[in-house]
Every structure is written in C-alpha cells, then in structure tokens.
Structure 1
Amino acid sequence: MIRTPLRPLARILDAREKGENPDAIERENKRIRHEQMRDKARMRAEGRLLVLGVCFLCAFTVIGGRMGLLAMSEPSEPRGYAPGAVISASRADITDRNGNLLATNFETHALYAQPRHLIDPEVAAKKLVKIFPDLKEERLIKDFTGKRKFLWIKKKISPEQMQAVHDIGDPGLLFAPRDMRLYPNGSLAAHVLGGASYGKEGVHAAEVIGVAGAEKYFDDYLRDPANGAKPLELSLDLTVQAASERVLYGGMKLMNAKGATSILMDVHTGEVISVASLPDFDPNNRPRPLTKGDASDSPLFNRSVQGVYELGSTFKIFAAAQAIELGLFNADTIIDTSGPMKVGGFRIGEFRNKNYGKLSVADIIVHSSNRGTGRMALEIGIERQQEFLKSLGFFEPTPFEIVEASGGKPLLPSRWTELSSVTISYGHGLSSTPMHLAAGYAAIANGGRVVKPTLLKQSGPQLGPRVMSEETAAQARMMLRKVVTDGTASFAEVPGYQIAGKTGTADKPKPTGGYYEDKVINTFASIFPIDDPKYVLIVTLDEPVETSGPKPRRTAGWTAVPVAAEMVRRIAPLLGLRPAVEPVNNAVLTLTSSN
C-alpha cells in the first residue's frame, strides 16, 4: 500500500514561493485520508450486514420448511431406541413336508408407558392391575412416579387387553407393534420347533430370535430377508406326528412311565417323519429351564436326542450282523450259550438266569441271549467292533438339525476291554440316544448303507457308505422278523403290516453309581413293512411298569412293544402303506345258498 505524505515537499516549496501557509496543505491531506478510511469502513460493515442477513434468511427458511413438513406428516409415537438402530422383525414360516403350517408370525402389540405424560399415575396403575392381574400395583406406582422416562409394561397383549387399556384413556400408556411367533398346533412337535423370543426391541418393532430346537438351529435362514416368503420345509408329516404323539402319550400313561420318546425315520433318505418326546410343552408359552435336579424331569428335555441311555438288547443285532459280514458265522451257525461264562473276572449271565444251551445265531437273537452275543463279540474283536459301531455313527452326536442334538454324545468306556466288548454287544457299557439307534437300524433296513437322520425334506434317497452287504442285511432282517413271530416281541404283530424288530430292557443307572433294581429303560426298535422296508420306528419308555397282571412286568415285550404296535396300526395308513392281504384258510369258507 502506497501512503501519500501529508506535507509533500514539492507543494510545500511551491506554497512558500506564493506566500501561502504550508500547514493548510497538511490539513487538506488529513481530511482526504480520513474520508477514504471512513468510506472503506462503511463498505466493510455493509458487507457484513448483508452476509448476516442472508444467514438469517436461510435459517428461517429451513425452520419454516421443517415446521411445514411436520405439520403435514402423520403423528407417531416417540422411538425408544438409539438413532440409526435398525431392527429386522421379519421371520420365515416353518411348514411340514406337505406345506402344513408349523410356525408363523402373528401381529400383536406390546404395552409401554411414558411416566411424564401420565395424567394420574395411581389411577392408571390400579386399572392396569385389573386388566393384567400378574402386575403389582405398588411396583407400577413406584415406577410411574419415579424418574423413569420409559417403561415396558407387557411385551405381548391380546386385542381385548389392548382395547381395555385404550379405555383407560391415559396418554402416557402407549402401544408398540409386534410380530409374535405363533405355533398354531400348540404342543405338537414342540421339541422339534423349540421356540422363539425377542432379541433387540424398540417401540416400533422387535427382533424375533430362536431360542431352541429348529428355530435356533436355522435362525440365520429364518431371519434372512433374501429368502423372502419362502418357508423352511421340514421332513415331518403333521398328521403322522399328531397320531404318534397321541399313541405315545396313551402308552406312557398305560405303562406308568416317567417319560417316553418315539422316532419314525425313512430308511432310504434319513428323513425323520415324526419324533416325539414326552412330557412336552407349548412353545407359545415356553417354560423356564430347571435350575436344579434331574434334567430329564423338565418338559424341555428332548429324550430322542438328549436322552443318552444304555439301550439294552436292541444292540444284539449289530453284533450278529457284523459277525455274519466278517464270515465268522451265518444265521444257522450253532453257538454254545451255556454257562458259566467269565470275561475279565466277571460272570456273564442271562435274563432271569436262564440257560439256553446250544442255539443258532438266529435263535440267539430270538431268545436274546447275552452269552451268545458275547461269544460273537469275542470272535469279532475289540478293534473291529469299534470300527463297525463308529461307522454306524455311535461315536459322535447325530447331525440331526436341532441345537439339542449336539449335546447327545454317546458315552463310551474309558478303557475298551474284552469285558466292554462283550457287554456292549448286548447293549450295556455304551450309552447312546434313540436317534443313534434309529440310524443304525436304518442301515439294516435299506440293505447295508449308512443314512444320516435329517429334519429337512429330501428330494430322493441319501444313502451313505456301505457298512454291510445286502445279503447280511437281509439275514439280519430275517432274524428281527423271527423275534416278532417266535420271540420276545410277539405283541408287535399288526394284521396287514409285517413288522420286524428287537426288544431291549436295560437297568437304569443310578446317579451315584450302580443300577436300580426296579427301574428300567425299555426300547423296541422295529422295521416295517419287512417285505419292502421303508421305515424304522423306535419307541423308548423311561421307567415303565405294566400292572395288569398279578405281578408288575417291566420288560420291553410287555411295555414298549404294544405301544409300537399300536403306533404302526395308526400311522401306516397315513403313510400310504396298504395292508397286505392275509391268506385265508379254506376251511373257514362255507358255501351258502338262497334256497
């Protein structure tokens, strides 16, 4: 910046020559300089005022526009969650193999309060207690008159309850829309479905999450919006499931059992058509888990995949089938089952101290001889027995698609000795679940191929590795059929449907060690129809006792077998199995005449 001097020398000299006062030149220059400074300051102030005015104009325009939008929008309740939080409330349906609904969503509401907006907190509390008797009036009054700004009152309410709260007319009582998980069939297939609850919650939506069963196992699939309206299709048949549960419940009561389970499996696909565990529960109102005592006392306990039991003589067919497969014996080979028999210093006895003498392998299965299967196990050897049972899946939890199945790991002996090998051959010393047993019998039924139990509907056979030849499997099925016609499962005969199977009566172990003398786990593992095997049916009863006779009877032939037979009688027609026409004796035919 160039500054002009107040007393320029040239003008001063010129003024002196003319006799003028040089001070006048300085005063004039000061006046010009001050006017320039004043003009510049005025322009700067005017610019600032202009910018400030524009800012105020923009601010008032934005505020006015926002007020106009709010005035035109629909009123809504304030949100009770952090800004930006997104809650996905959608969840896919679950259906059976025929498209029948097992689980779906139902629109309902939750009730919450904003205490600061309550007109009369005490009156509101009294009226709410009349509508919801489980609420505590004193607690509500304390919450309504305290410092809380938000309060959940009920997570799910019915339309009638919602209308009653509306009638209270207090603006501090508000409703939040909800998608509630609904199980329209009540307790049917409860242990399979499991149940659902709420995860993240807000006043405008709530996240529905699985807490047990298939709901939890398939939680990611059911919550994935990419699946759209496509339901999760299970292998269950709703009508067969209902019939199975009804028969099983009746059988459990008739046999005075503590609990029961049944499994119906397709032997070619591994599909579980029905699976029941009793006692059960309603997943719409899922009970709380037990915090002490025996887990099996809870209705939440799933005996089909969590019940790890010694399954008794049902294991004997595995020893016979492996011995035949290895070429050590055939169905007609004679084995001396006479006593005494000692292994590892322990005596191997028979049921009720019977002595069967010399029996064929087939008759060993028919008469359920412990010594006979024990001698076959000694011929097979420890390593080969382990490999065979491992190939059938008895060393790991089943891959059945509910979360509880992962906890059903078989209990194996810490040291697999010759004594272990013998006792395991007749179902003691190795504990597994009824689901394991169903998969093992399916391999015998389908001709010797492993199948994995599954809860999902399959498009065709899902046969795994071969564990025995078709000839061996056929001989095993023949022996199981003789158990029904000539052995311990005679009550399993159902007209029109030929059934094969094996009974198993196992003493129930005490928690402190040893076995109860009057408590058993009874199982009947069956295959039907035996001429063209399609299904395996397992029925297991916990602590049954049949009391119709003069003495209580606790063997599987008297308890589990009649229940399984009645179940086949009910469900076979539902499965589309036509009864075989039984041959009629000509002697019963008579000729009649109209004369």
Structure 2
Amino acid sequence: MIRTPLRPLARILTARANGENPDVIERENLRQRHAEMQAASRQRAEGRLLVLGVFFLVAFTAIAVRMGALATSEAVEPVASTAGGSGIAMQRADIVDRKGRILATNFETHSLYAQPPQMVDPEGAVERLVEIFPDLDRDRLLEDFTGKRKFVWIKKKISPEQKQAVHDIGDPGLLFGPREMRLYPNGSLAAHVMGGAGFGKEGVTAAEVIGVAGVEKQFDDYLRDPANGGRPLQLSLDLTVQAASEQVLLGGMKLMNAKGATSVLMDVYTGEVISVVSLPDFDPNDRPRPPTSGFDPSVSPLFNRAVQGVYELGSTFKIFTAAQAVDLGLVNSETIIDTSGPMRIGRFPIGEFNNKNYGKLSVADIIVNSSNRGTGRLALQIGAERQQQFLRALGMFDPTPIEIVEASGGQPLKPKKWGELSTVTISYGHGLSTSPMHLAAGYAAIANGGRYVSPTILRQTGPQLGDRVMSEDAAAQARAMLRKVVTSGTASFGEVPGYQVGGKTGTADKPKPRGGYYESKVIATFAAMFPAHDPKYVLIVTLDEPSVIAHGEERRTAGWTAVPVAGEMIGRIAPLLGLRPQVEPDQITGITLTSN
C-alpha cells in the first residue's frame, strides 16, 4: 500500500511562494488519511457482519425447518426392511373373476397407536381400550403406557365403529393412522385361490399391502406395479359356479362324513380352471396362522388339497392305461383280455376288489368293471419305459404349472425303482401320487381329442392346446369307455338327466405315515367329463376318508361317495356354464297320428 506524504514538497514550495501556511496542507492530508483508514475499517467490519449474518440466517432457517418437520410429522414405529429408504407403495390392483366381478379389492381403514408421553390418563385409557378390544392384554398395555416407550402399536386395523369408540375416550395420546387393507367381499369363497394379503413395511400414515399366499403372492409384483395403471388381475374363475361348487361339495363332505374334500372344474380346450374348491377352508379377511411344527399340514384349513395334496388316485388312472394301449395299436376297445387269476408279479399277487374274478373282458369292460388284472396286463404290454413317457407327457411327474404359489409344493411321488410291479400297480393308480389338478389335466387331454392342456387360473381368450399325447381315435375310444362306466358301471349315480356324463371312479387306500396302508381309510375320487358326446369340461371330485351307510352297510368306495356328489354338482353348475340339457321327449301314448 502506497501512502501519500503528509507534506508533499511540491505543494509546500508552491504554498510558500504564494504566502500560504504549509501546516494547513499537512493537517488536510492527515485528515484525509484518517478518513481513508476509517472507511477501510468500516468496510471490513461490514463484510464480517454480513458473513456472520448469513451464517446465522442459514442456521436459524435449518433449525426452523427441522422444528416444523417435527411438529407436523407422526411418530413411526421402526420396522426392518430390505428396501431401506424406499417409500411405502400403497396402490394394489383389484382381482376379478372371468366376468369382471370383484374377488379382492382395497378398503380404507385406520390403525390405532399411542404416544404415552402425551397421554393424560393412561390407566383410564387402558380400561376403556380393553372394553373396546377384549383381546388386548390389560397388564401388558398398562406397562407400555406407563413405561419409557414413546410409541405403542395397539391395533393395525380397526373398524369405523371401533375408531369412534376410541375417539370418545378423548385421550390426546391415542392417535389414528390412515391405511388401506385388502378386502375379500365374498368371504371364504375361493379362499385357497385368493390366499390372502398382509402388511409389509408399515408406518402410522401408511402400510404396504403384500400377498402372503395364493394368487395374491403369485402376482404380487403385478398387483403392486403402478405401471399397470390399476388394471385388475382377471382370473378364470366364475364366481357363481365357484359358489355353487363350494355349496354342493360342503354338503357332500358332511353327508359322506369325510374329513376333507376338493373339486376342480376345468375347461378342456383353454385349460381355464372355472372353479377349484378345497375343504375345510378359511376366510382370507381373517387368515388363520399356519400350523405349528410337527402338525400334519393336511388337516389345516390353509392346505390346498387341489394342488398341494398328492394322493394315490386309484382306478381313475386305468383310463390312461387303456388309452395308451389303444394309441400304441396294441388293442382296441373290443379286444378281449383274460383277467382271470391268479396273477403275480414276483412274490406280489394282483387281486380284484372284493376278490372278484371277471374272466375274459373286452378292454371297454375292463374299464367298466374296473379290473385291476385287466389293466395290469395291458400295462405289461405297454412296458415301463413307454408308460413313463406317456405319464410324463400328461404332466404327472412335475408340479402343475397353475399360477397358485402353493402349486409348486405339489410334487408327485414316484417309485424309486420303476419295475414290472410299479408298472402294473401304477396302471390302476397305486404307487404314483399326484394331485387332483394333475388328474384334471390328464382327463382334459382325453376330452379334447388327445392334446395336453396346461391348467391355468388366468382368463384366456381362446384354446391353449399343447402337444399331442394320444391320437384322436384313442381319445374317442377312451371317452366312449368313460361314458359306459356311467351308464353301465361303477358310476351310475353320476348320471345327470339332460347332460351326458362320462367318468371313472377311483378308491385308493390311504397310506400310513410310516409305511403300509390303512384298512378303513380311503381317498375316493370321481373324474368326470361332460357332455360326454362333446366334452367341454372336466370335473374332479375327491373325498378324504368318506364313509356312509347305504342299504344297511358301510360304504367307502367312490361309486357310493364321490360319484353322487359329483352328479349333484354337475346338475347345479351345467346350466350356469350355459350348457343346454339334451332332453329326449317321452313317447306320447293314446294319440295316433293320421294323415288328412
């Protein structure tokens, strides 16, 4: 910094020459220098004050913003989440049946929580809350309210009436949070298909609804994806057919004293499952807890017998053996087979039901009379390798691909060694355990002319036929045999006036958990297709441990148990499916037609 001299020589000499006082110049320069120094000091001070002011402004603004956020926010119960920091997705699409009727939707409700530090009368609030919610633990709640906790969940879901009752308590520490919950307006209808939903990530102002079972879990990503624009998930189920099926099956299960029952109704060309029932069932609005460890899951209402239950389905498998033998050109429906005994495979005898001996039977009559020996001898002609190839083509070796998450657990049980004995026993439905859904897909291939069709729970726009598994001729002969079973064989109770029914009964002894079979416990199944002359649908009805007294005797076989239930069901649902009865008018007597 260069300073101006206080007594510049040039100005001093000039001042002396003009007779002026040189000291005035010095005082003037000194005053000017002091003014400049003061201005510089003031500028530095103002700069420092400005910086300090900006600092305090930013600090107080941040504090004010934080205080405002705290004042307007709600207390949140910490929850574990794999998606840390992500927001709670509240949107979930509806689920509808094939005609657009609601099966699952969302419902606005509230949660109830407490902030104990804000409570005025914790003891009084506890007493009132226990009156409103009798399932609450009074002592635990009092401990939470009077302890050190700052947040306490009381109820994740409450009804409008309960909300009003809590509001009337008037304690400022009792607060409500808005949320959506999943609502199934039809209650237990199609419960095992719906599965149910629960809460994932939760806060007091929102809760994430996630699928926990059934199609809710299978299609969880789709139902929660905002990119779908809220478009509903459309299933293949028909609400009215499902309701009728459940009503008939429940009545049949009680009438036949069965511990459980299941039914599957499937379109033979599209693979659409129009109805699927598993009993006992549950209400997905109040889904029960899974059974504890060591508990037989098959007795739980959560167990889906249609896709998870794998059973030896007995003589319903005989038609597959006959159809394959025809398809291979080994026999036709009129070929005579000697079913006389004895028949042994190694050291194991092959007998008939009630020790019958049918003698020589046509292939069709083997199916009508349900001959084990006759089916076994056909299977020996087919051979183990070709039998396995055929059953694999029918999907009998893998879980069904139907879009219900529990279906992946329905793994068929095959013999470890598939020799001659297994070939014979599997030909009549023993030694290979599959689900009723597997059986429906197998019968659909016979019904539609020999093409495999994959079962699906989603609405389809047209036929979804897969690979050919048998010729049209073999399928046609098999259908004729199944029709004869109803008109002349073990399924006579399955005939429905106006609707030709074809099908096959199957009664299999239940295996014991540790090997062997029960003597008085069976799985009774009727696999049907209708109308038999041009099948549109396959129906499988299975009863677990049925027993009924008829004609003074205890009956357990499918012809006495599953068949009449299936017949009643077909009579109820066929009109709902749009099938017109084919009624042959009775001949009018007493009237003679004459010409003019």
TM norm structure 1: 0.91
Residue 519 of structure 1 deviates from its aligned partner by: 0.3
User: How far, CA to CA, are the matches of 2:587 and 2:381 in structure 1?
Assistant: 45
User: How far, CA to CA, are the matches of 1:54 and 1:388 in structure 2?
Assistant: 84
User: How far, CA to CA, are the matches of 1:166 and 1:337 in structure 2?
Assistant: 79
1:206 matched residue in structure 2:
207
Residue 559 of structure 1 deviates from its aligned partner by: 0.4
User: How far, CA to CA, are the matches of 2:248 and 2:471 in structure 1?
Assistant: 35
User: How far, CA to CA, are the matches of 1:59 and 1:290 in structure 2?
Assistant: 57
Gaps in structure 1 of 5+ consecutive residues: 7-28
1:300 matched residue in structure 2:
302
Q: 2:75–2:151: 8 Å Cα contact kept in structure 1?
A: no
User: How far, CA to CA, are the matches of 2:157 and 2:189 in structure 1?
Assistant: 22
Identity among equivalent positions (%) equals 75
Distance verdict in 2 for CA 1:42–1:76, change over 3 Å? closer
2:504 matched residue in structure 1:
502
User: How far, CA to CA, are the matches of 2:105 and 2:497 in structure 1?
Assistant: 40
Residues 183-582 of structure 1 correspond to what in structure 2 (within 5 A)?
183-291=184-292, 292-582=294-584
User: How far, CA to CA, are the matches of 2:222 and 2:548 in structure 1?
Assistant: 45
Q: Which amino acid aligns with 1:271?
A: E
How many residue pairs get matched? Answer: 572
User: How far, CA to CA, are the matches of 1:548 and 1:152 in structure 2?
Assistant: 57
Residue 81 of structure 1 deviates from its aligned partner by: 6.3
User: How far, CA to CA, are the matches of 1:108 and 1:76 in structure 2?
Assistant: 22
Please list the CA deviations of residues 399-423 of structure 1 after superposition, one character each: whole Å capped at 9, or x if unmatched.
Answer: 0111110000100000100110000
User: How far, CA to CA, are the matches of 1:569 and 1:506 in structure 2?
Assistant: 26
User: How far, CA to CA, are the matches of 1:61 and 1:295 in structure 2?
Assistant: 61
Q: 1:79–1:204: 8 Å Cα contact kept in structure 2?
A: no
User: How far, CA to CA, are the matches of 1:54 and 1:254 in structure 2?
Assistant: 86
Distance verdict in 2 for CA 1:261–1:63, change over 3 Å? closer
User: How far, CA to CA, are the matches of 1:155 and 1:347 in structure 2?
Assistant: 62
Please list the CA deviations of residues 260-291 of structure 1 after superposition, one character each: whole Å capped at 9, or x if unmatched.
Answer: 00000000000000000001111111111111
Distance verdict in 2 for CA 1:574–1:31, change over 3 Å? closer
User: How far, CA to CA, are the matches of 1:110 and 1:178 in structure 2?
Assistant: 7
Distance verdict in 2 for CA 1:143–1:557, change over 3 Å? same
User: How far, CA to CA, are the matches of 2:152 and 2:4 in structure 1?
Assistant: 78
Residue 63 of structure 1 deviates from its aligned partner by: 7.7
SS of residue paired to 1:155: strand
Distance verdict in 2 for CA 1:475–1:206, change over 3 Å? same
Q: 1:400–1:454: 8 Å Cα contact kept in structure 2?
A: yes
Please list the CA deviations of residues 134-155 of structure 1 after superposition, one character each: whole Å capped at 9, or x if unmatched.
Answer: 1122111110111111111001
1:14 matched residue in structure 2:
none
User: How far, CA to CA, are the matches of 1:357 and 1:63 in structure 2?
Assistant: 98
User: How far, CA to CA, are the matches of 1:349 and 1:485 in structure 2?
Assistant: 25
Residue 45 of structure 1 deviates from its aligned partner by: 2.9
1:9 matched residue in structure 2:
none
SS of residue paired to 2:278: strand
The structure 1 residue matched to 2:76, chosen from 62, 76, 80, is 80
User: How far, CA to CA, are the matches of 2:46 and 2:99 in structure 1?
Assistant: 82
Distance verdict in 2 for CA 1:168–1:503, change over 3 Å? same
Residues 575-590 of structure 1 correspond to what in structure 2 (within 5 A)?
575-586=577-588, 589-590=589-590
Q: Which amino acid aligns with 1:198?
A: F
Residue 525 of structure 1 deviates from its aligned partner by: 0.2
Q: 1:110–1:155: 8 Å Cα contact kept in structure 2?
A: yes
Please list the CA deviations of residues 472-500 of structure 1 after superposition, one character each: whole Å capped at 9, or x if unmatched.
Answer: 10000000011011110111111100000
User: How far, CA to CA, are the matches of 2:478 and 2:406 in structure 1?
Assistant: 32
Distance verdict in 2 for CA 1:42–1:103, change over 3 Å? closer
Q: 2:210–2:217: 8 Å Cα contact kept in structure 1?
A: yes
Distance verdict in 2 for CA 1:53–1:405, change over 3 Å? closer
User: How far, CA to CA, are the matches of 1:183 and 1:273 in structure 2?
Assistant: 19
2:22 matched residue in structure 1:
none
Distance verdict in 2 for CA 1:44–1:309, change over 3 Å? same
2:44 matched residue in structure 1:
44
Segment drifting more, 175-184 vs 48-57? 48-57
User: How far, CA to CA, are the matches of 1:218 and 1:317 in structure 2?
Assistant: 36
Q: Which amino acid aligns with 1:186?
A: G
User: How far, CA to CA, are the matches of 1:211 and 1:555 in structure 2?
Assistant: 37
User: How far, CA to CA, are the matches of 2:390 and 2:50 in structure 1?
Assistant: 93
Residue 515 of structure 1 deviates from its aligned partner by: 0.2
User: How far, CA to CA, are the matches of 1:267 and 1:447 in structure 2?
Assistant: 9
2:12 matched residue in structure 1:
none
Q: 2:195–2:212: 8 Å Cα contact kept in structure 1?
A: yes
User: How far, CA to CA, are the matches of 1:461 and 1:508 in structure 2?
Assistant: 37
C-alpha RMSD of the superposition: 2.9
Distance verdict in 2 for CA 1:36–1:411, change over 3 Å? same
Q: 1:374–1:426: 8 Å Cα contact kept in structure 2?
A: yes
Residue 131 of structure 1 deviates from its aligned partner by: 0.9
Residue 585 of structure 1 deviates from its aligned partner by: 3.8
Please list the CA deviations of residues 69-107 of structure 1 after superposition, one character each: whole Å capped at 9, or x if unmatched.
Answer: 96xx9x955151689641111111111101111100011
1:122 matched residue in structure 2:
123
Distance verdict in 2 for CA 1:39–1:214, change over 3 Å? closer
SS of residue paired to 1:530: coil
User: How far, CA to CA, are the matches of 2:56 and 2:568 in structure 1?
Assistant: 87
Residues 11-30 of structure 1 correspond to what in structure 2 (within 5 A)?
none
Please list the CA deviations of residues 223-272 of structure 1 after superposition, one character each: whole Å capped at 9, or x if unmatched.
Answer: 11111231111000000000000000010001000100000000000000
Q: Which amino acid aligns with 1:78?
A: E
Q: Which amino acid aligns with 2:74?
A: P
Q: Which amino acid aligns with 1:319?
A: T
User: How far, CA to CA, are the matches of 1:58 and 1:180 in structure 2?
Assistant: 43
User: How far, CA to CA, are the matches of 2:48 and 2:105 in structure 1?
Assistant: 65
2:81 matched residue in structure 1:
none
SS of residue paired to 2:223: helix
User: How far, CA to CA, are the matches of 1:84 and 1:381 in structure 2?
Assistant: 61
SS of residue paired to 1:574: coil
User: How far, CA to CA, are the matches of 2:57 and 2:203 in structure 1?
Assistant: 38
User: How far, CA to CA, are the matches of 1:429 and 1:50 in structure 2?
Assistant: 91
Q: Which amino acid aligns with 1:411?
A: L
User: How far, CA to CA, are the matches of 1:375 and 1:449 in structure 2?
Assistant: 26
Please list the CA deviations of residues 520-548 of structure 1 after superposition, one character each: whole Å capped at 9, or x if unmatched.
Answer: 00000001001111000000000001113
1:132 matched residue in structure 2:
133
Distance verdict in 2 for CA 1:92–1:46, change over 3 Å? closer
Distance verdict in 2 for CA 1:50–1:281, change over 3 Å? closer
Segment drifting more, 163-172 vs 48-57? 48-57
User: How far, CA to CA, are the matches of 2:105 and 2:198 in structure 1?
Assistant: 13
SS of residue paired to 1:87: coil
Distance verdict in 2 for CA 1:543–1:60, change over 3 Å? closer
Gaps in structure 2 of 5+ consecutive residues: 7-28, 79-83
SS of residue paired to 1:107: strand
